[in-house]
Amino acid sequence: MSRPQKSQLIITLPVYRDVAFLEKTADALQEITPSISKDFILLIAEDGSNSSEIVERLRTKYPNIIYFQNDRRLGRGKALREAWKKVRGNIYAYIDVDQATDVTRLNAYANLINLQGDFDLVTGSRYIAASVTARPWLRRTASIAYNWWVRMMFRTGVHDHQCGFKSFSRELVERLAIEAKSDSWFWDTEVIVLARKLGFKVKEIPIYWTEKKGRRTPVKRLLKDIWLHGIGMLGLFYRIWLC
């Protein structure tokens, strides 16, 4: 087994059928990141799809790209955990590849990285003061209600557990590799709950967030998300409060 590659900063793009966004987002991050950190790797973690042609084109421009691709869908949580095991850094961040969070506004991207000196988990929040959010009203309402329940059940003090704009200290990533169990999108919530439970310091930052994958939320998709996150919450409640 090869030794993990190492860099100060690991910027991760989780990818699943994101051909429309991948190249533009990679270009944007390669342009802006050197103003924040000179020592960084752009890690593309592709899960259940194949963008190898785009990645090869990107690699001709950027030598600091690492690409892990799984033909079988692992789920966001498992795909990130597996990728991060293979790349060693001091700061691990991931950003949704559609750039729903605008990295150029509200100093969000710089804060995501620079605040790691004082916090173990920095997470973008669509529901705190100064944030700007544009998304379908049904999705927004369901999200606010969900986050309220998580905040009450687990006493996190966090207003947005689902945002795909987070950074982690190496110590927290190593603990989550052991403690986190979710393979799905619920992992975004689970890592915040576990970080609080384990005594790590968590910081929410304001972001400029725009829905990029459609102005309307299909009811079928919403019901699927409610089921997935509901089951995740019940399992996590059992582990946190009853075990």
| 16 CB neighbour count, 10 Å cutoff | 17
Specify whether the CB–CB gap between 165 and 128 falls below 8 A: no
Residue whose entry in the numeric block shows the structure tokens 């384990």: 198
Q: Which helix (H) or strand (E) holds 83?
A: helix 76-85
| CB burial string 31-56: b at 16+ within 10 A, e below | eebeeebeebbbbbbbbeeebeebbe
Specify whether the CB–CB gap between 218 and 137 falls below 8 A: no
SS3 state of residue 124: strand
CA distance 200 to 155: 14
User: Which one of the listed residues 18, 160, 188, 225 is annotated catalytic?
Assistant: 188
Backbone phi, then psi, for 169, in 5-degree steps?
A: -75, 160
CA-based nearest residue to 127, from 116, 103, 143, 110: 143
Q: Who's near 238: CB < 8 A, 6+ residues apart?
A: none
Determine whether 98 is an active site residue.
Answer: no
Write out the catalytic residue numbers: 188
